[in-house]
Every structure is written in structure tokens, then in C-alpha cells.
Amino acid sequence: MATKISSIDRERLKHINYLMDEFYDKLSTIYEHLVDREIEECNCEILRLIKDLQALLYSMKDEL
């Protein structure tokens, strides 16, 4: 029998999936910049990704 997911967990999973989609998009953009040798644009996108990952890290510390 399958276990039911609570509405809170469902919303949590939606948020996690949203974050992961954002990270994947940024990684894809970084890849394209690297391939095209667009170094300045790549650096900016890397910094945005780092900022987003730091925000995730800090939010996880709040959960402890």
C-alpha cells in the first residue's frame, strides 16, 4: 500500500523541485557560456549560483 504524502510535504517537495530546476537552468547557462568562451557572463552566472546555494545552505541550518 502506498503511503500518502501530507500537504505540507507536498508543498516542501514542490519547493525543492523548483529550486533544483533553477539550479539546473543556471548550470546549463554556465555550460553554454563556457562552450562559447563567454567568460565574464560565465563568472556572473557562477556567482549567482553560489549565492543561491549559500541561501539554500543557510535555510537548511535553520531546520536543525
Q: Domain residue spans in the chain?
A: 20-59
Distance of alpha carbon 36 from alpha carbon 53, whole angstroms = 24
> CA 39 to CA 30: how far, in whole Å?
9
DSSP assignment of the chain equals -PPPPPHHHHHHHHHHHHHHHHHHHHHHHHHHHHHTT-HHHHHHHHHHHHHHHHHHHHHHHHH-
| pLDDT at res. 38 | 98
- At 1-58, the pLDDT tens digits run 678 889 999 999 999 999 999 999 999 999 999 999 999 999 999 999 999 999 999 9
